[in-house]
Amino acid sequence: MNYTLNQLQIFLKVVQTGSVTKAAEALFLTQPAVSIQLKNFQDQFNIPLTEVVGRKLYVTEFGKEIAQAAEEIVNQIHSINYKTLAYQGQVTGRLKISVVSTGKYVMPYFLSGFIRQHPGVELVMDVTNKEKVIESLENNEVDFALVSILPSALNIERMDLLQNKLYLVGNSQNSEQNIALEDFEKIPLIFREKGSGTRTTMEGFIKHKNISVLKKMELTSNEAVKQALLAGLGYSIMPLIGIRNELYNQELKIIPIKGLPIKTMWSLIWMRGKKHSPVSELYLQYLQKAKAEIIEERFSWCEQY
């Protein structure tokens, strides 16, 4: 057999994501490149590693065993790299963070300075919906999670990073200047998918205000909602943090309405009692010292709204 480390890493990512397309996105490769390497890897085995049923990819039992072995090999390679850097006096290790999808507008700014200071640290950041973020935290698959709604069922510790404000938003050209609460049953509302923190917050507002909503659309990402608003398909309650450019370019506008904005908090959370690695402990120390400066430098624009 003559498989490469690259093939092991690609196969492992395909198994973890359950999709060639998602693996390609996670590895910043094209889908054909991943497919070719996956085929080359498969060609070295007489037993199928994966199978496609109804356009869905499944990993065989043999494939799962190979994936487990591949993960052990990849971890050993990381260990060698870490030890080499540590011998040279650099901080090394992995920092694994799971982030709710809208948090992608927040988390990178609280990471960039730390990664620049410690180039030996490998960052693994998974951006997904709230349910999967909480699941990865509960399963101890990550060091930290970034959320805007704290999970009530988990015993956690937290560090608050930044206020999160949600407004009613519409297209600058086609939207009404003023909308009253009773008008909600007349306007098309765009929701995030179930499991999204933004969806939970939006539904909580509607329920609290006893609003009737008759027309609604459901989309699976903040970017998809934004594009629908830009196209004039309706209105949505959105986090301010994700629409900065569109507000500056006067493509979207905030529509004043009683009871908004909704204010929550972006918080970095971890399981209570978790034994932090040296890297994650160092990262918490970094945030304690640097977060006020990061907020002032990167997020002061939020104060004008």
The CATH-assigned architecture of domain 164-264 is 3-Layer(aba) Sandwich (3.40)
Distance of CA 78 to the CA centre of its chain: 24
pLDDT value for 3: 82
For residue range 249-302, what is the model confidence (pLDDT) as tens digits? 999 999 888 888 999 999 999 999 888 888 888 899 999 999 999 999 999 999
Across all residues in the chain, what is the average pLDDT?
87
Residues of the chain with CATH 3.40.190.10: 91-162+265-304, 164-264
Query: Within the chain, which residues score under 70 in pLDDT?
Result: 1, 79, 81-90, 175-176, 215
State whether CATH 2.60.34.10 applies to domain 5-86: no
pLDDT value for 76: 77
- CATH number for the domain formed by residue range(s) 91-162+265-304: 3.40.190.10
pLDDT value for 88: 58
**Number of helical H runs and strand E runs in the chain:** 10, 11
Enumerate the H helices of 139-243 as residue ranges: 197-208, 222-230
pLDDT value for 145: 96
For residue range 71-95, what is the model confidence (pLDDT) as tens digits? 888 877 776 766 665 555 567 788 9
Residues of the chain with CATH 1.10.10.10: 5-86
Q: 177: which DSSP letter?
A: S
* Triad 210, 212, 215: Cα angle to 5°: 150
